Amino acid sequence: MDHGPSVHAGHGSHEMGGAVSLLDTWGAVVFIGWAVAMWAAVVVLAYANRGPVRSWLHKTAVAVIGLGVVGQIGHFQEHVAQAGYWVANPYAPSWMTPWANSLARGMGQVDPTKPELGMEILHLTGNFIFLAGLVGIVQITRRATGHLKTRTWAKMGVWMQGIHGIEHIVLTASVALGASRAIGLSTWFGAIDPGPALVTYRVWWHFVANLVGTAILAIALYHLWKEKRTVKAGYEEGQGGNDTGIGRPVGGRAASGAVPALGLKGSRVAR
């Protein structure tokens, strides 16, 4: 979903023109709502994971991860499509799929005088959906003790995608504040003139960034599947705790009121 400069910048730009439909508007609202809901869930998970185990914590984390995966599949296919279009048309203006154009038109209504803004907001939203999914993987492993490869890869993804997210904040803010072109690492801070060079650099910069990020996500999910029993154990009664507050909170430390698993012959925990 990456483009060159605005429609007023000449060759290397992309025209998202056309009247904004009701579908464009509702699509934009739903997509932004998706991101907001995911980050609200992440905040709740981060806070709730500091206390005793609750039955909904694991399911909520799984839902956040699932939504993040679905979002990134859609996000990455857009970058694959753009890279494929560039291979076939290396000197043409940048391109987006019809559904991405629809979302960008809907989001661009926030300021119709800035043709690039809708596309930048779309990028920003998509990347933060991806980041929320990675944070969800970190959160779901917080109650598991010992070294987990899932946690290692997820944290790596959070750092990388966090930097990528900052790039999109800068790109979006620069356009929103009135810059003639988006300013960021992927535009060489506005130093590359509009045209094929800028389109090429930005399309491939974001394609590679998403390729690496998606690979990290896939590896984290692979290890999460392999380590799912260890992860789930942290949320089970007698292992990670229960709704009464007995159990093991984040980091493997004994929760207040926890009963040791050893040395209680005949007790429910010892069995």
Cα distance between residue 175 and residue 246, in whole Å: 51
265 assigned to some structural domain:
no
Cα distance between residue 143 and residue 253, in whole Å: 9
Give ∠ CA 11-169-20 in degrees, rounded to 5: 55
Q: According to the model, what pLDDT value does residue 190 have?
A: 86
Structure tokens at 245: 């507050």
Q: According to the model, what pLDDT value does residue 240 have?
A: 44
Q: According to the model, what pLDDT value does residue 2 have?
A: 52
Counting Cβ atoms within 10 Å, is residue 111 exposed (0-12), middle (13-18) or buried (19+)?
A: middle
Contact residues for 63 (Cβ-Cβ < 8 A; gap 6+): 41
Q: According to the model, what pLDDT value does residue 205 have?
A: 96
270 assigned to some structural domain:
no
* Residue 247 backbone phi and psi in degrees, to 5: 150, -160
46 assigned to some structural domain:
yes
210 assigned to some structural domain:
yes
The answer to whether 75 and 127 have CB atoms below 8 angstroms apart is yes
Is the sign of the CA dihedral 200, 201, 207, 211 positive or negative? positive
246 assigned to some structural domain:
yes
Q: Number of folded domains in the chain? A: 1
176 assigned to some structural domain:
yes
Average pLDDT for runs of 10 along the chain of length 271: 41 56 96 98 95 91 98 96 97 94 96 94 97 97 91 97 96 94 91 92 96 98 96 72 42 39 37 38
Q: According to the model, what pLDDT value does residue 117 have?
A: 96
Cα distance between residue 156 and residue 216, in whole Å: 8
Q: Return the C-alpha torsion angle 60, 61, 62, 66, nearest 10.
A: 100
Q: According to the model, what pLDDT value does residue 6 have?
A: 39
Q: According to the model, what pLDDT value does residue 87 have?
A: 97
11 assigned to some structural domain:
no
- Domain region containing 241: 22-252
236 assigned to some structural domain:
yes
Q: What is the DSSP code (8-state) at residue 245?
A: S
Q: 157, 253, 159, 167: which is closest to 206 by C-alpha?
A: 167
Q: 44, 251, 36: which is closest to 136 by C-alpha?
A: 44
